[in-house]
Amino acid sequence: MQLRLPIALKHARAWCVAALSGPQMLAFLPAATLAAFWLGGEPALIALAVAVPFLWLLFGGVDASTRARLARIAQTGLVPADQFVPKAEVVHADAPASGKSSAIFTVELDQFAELQDRFEPAAVDKVLKAVGDRLVTVSRDRDTISRIGDSRFGICLGDVQHIDLESCLQMCSRMQSAIEEPIAIDGTSVYMSASIGFCLLARAPGADAQDWLNAALAALIEAQRRGPSTVRAYSSELQSRLKHRADLRDEVAAALEQGYIQPWFQPQISTDTGKVTGFEALARWIHPDRGAISPAEFLPAIEASGLLERLAEVMIYHSFTALKAWDSAGLHVPQVGVNFSGSELSNPRLIDKVRWELDRFDLTPDRLTVEILETVVTNTSDDTITRNINALTALGCHIDLDDFGTGNASIASIRRFGVGRIKIDRSFVMKADRDPEQQRMISAVLTMAERLGVETLGEGVETVGEHALLAQLGCDHVQGFGIARPMPFEKTLDWVRAHEAKLQDAPVIPGRRAN
Question: Applying CB under 6 A, which residues contact ligand C2E?
Answer: 266, 282-283, 294-296, 299, 311, 315, 339, 341, 371, 402-403, 426, 460-462, 480-481, 486
Torsional class of 419: left (φ above 0), alpha (ψ -120 to 50), beta (otherwise): beta
In sequence order, the β-bridge partners of residue 105 are 155, 198
341 binds, among ligand C2E, Ca ion, none (CB under 5 to 8 A by kind): ligand C2E
315 binds, among Ca ion, ligand C2E, none (CB under 5 to 8 A by kind): ligand C2E
**7 within 8 A of 15, measured Cβ to Cβ:** no
457 binds, among ligand C2E, Ca ion, none (CB under 5 to 8 A by kind): none
Residue closer to ligand C2E, measured from CB, 195 or 319 = 319
Q: Which residue is nearest to ligand C2E (CB)?
A: 480
d(CA 61, CA 376): 65
In sequence order, what are the residues at sequence separation of 6 or more whose Cβ sits closer than 8 angstroms to the Cβ of residue 145?
A: 78, 79, 132, 135, 136, 139, 153, 154, 155
**205 within 8 A of 239, measured Cβ to Cβ:** yes
d(CA 270, CA 202): 63
Query: Among 148, 146, 167, 147, which Cα is nearest to 102's?
Result: 167
Residue closer to ligand C2E, measured from CB, 190 or 336 = 336
Dihedral pair phi/psi, residue 291, rounded to 5°:
80, -150
3-state helix, strand and coil shares in percent for the chain, rounded to the nearest 5: 55, 15, 25
Compute the least distance from the CB of residue 284 to ligand C2E, in Å: 7
Compute the least distance from the CB of residue 326 to ligand C2E, in Å: 19
Residue closer to ligand C2E, measured from CB, 203 or 284 = 284
Which of 110, 344, 371, 374 touches Ca ion (CB under 5 A)?
371
278 binds, among Ca ion, ligand C2E, none (CB under 5 to 8 A by kind): none
Compute the least distance from the CB of residue 281 to Ca ion, in Å: 9
d(CA 55, CA 57): 5
**264 within 8 A of 485, measured Cβ to Cβ:** no
Tell me 206's DSSP state: S
Compute the least distance from the CB of residue 306 to ligand C2E, in Å: 13
Which of 106, 262, 339, 456 touches Ca ion (CB under 5 A)?
339
Helix boundaries (H) for 60-164 = 61-76, 81-94, 112-118, 121-137
Compute the least distance from the CB of residue 395 to Ca ion, in Å: 20
Compute the least distance from the CB of residue 109 to ligand C2E, in Å: 29
Compute the least distance from the CB of residue 299 to ligand C2E, in Å: 6
Compute the least distance from the CB of residue 360 to ligand C2E, in Å: 19
Compute the least distance from the CB of residue 476 to Ca ion, in Å: 16
476 binds, among ligand C2E, Ca ion, none (CB under 5 to 8 A by kind): none
Compute the least distance from the CB of residue 457 to Ca ion, in Å: 9
Residue closer to ligand C2E, measured from CB, 148 or 376 = 376
Residue closer to ligand C2E, measured from CB, 203 or 477 = 477
Residue closer to ligand C2E, measured from CB, 61 or 278 = 278
Say if strands 231-233 and 194-200 run parallel, antiparallel, or are unpaired. parallel
380 belongs to the binding site for Ca ion (CB under 5 A)? no
| SS3 assignment, position 97 | coil
295 binds, among ligand C2E, Ca ion, none (CB under 5 to 8 A by kind): ligand C2E
Binding mask 190-229 for Ca ion (x = CB under 5 A): ----------------------------------------
Task: Single out the segment in contact with Ca ion by CB under 5 A; choices: 51-59, 219-227, 230-238, 394-402.
Answer: 394-402
- 381 class by beta-carbon count within 10 Å (0-12 exposed, 13-18 middle, 19+ buried): exposed
61 binds, among Ca ion, ligand C2E, none (CB under 5 to 8 A by kind): none
Compute the least distance from the CB of residue 314 to ligand C2E, in Å: 8
Compute the least distance from the CB of residue 421 to ligand C2E, in Å: 13
Which residues between 400 and 429 bind Ca ion (CB under 5 A)?
402-403
Q: What's at 332, amino acid-wise?
A: H
d(CA 475, CA 195): 45
Binding mask 442-471 for Ca ion (x = CB under 5 A): -----------------x------------
Size of the site for Ca ion (CB under 5 A): 5
Name all contacts of 147-152 with Cβ < 8 Å and 24+ positions apart. 147/78, 147/81, 148/81, 148/84, 148/106, 148/213, 149/108, 150/112, 151/108, 151/109, 151/112, 151/115, 152/106, 152/107, 152/108, 152/220
d(CA 419, CA 505): 35
Length, in residues, of the chain: 515
Residue closer to ligand C2E, measured from CB, 203 or 423 = 423
Residue closer to Ca ion, measured from CB, 230 or 479 = 479
- Which residues make up the interface to Ca ion (CB under 5 A)? 339, 371, 402-403, 459
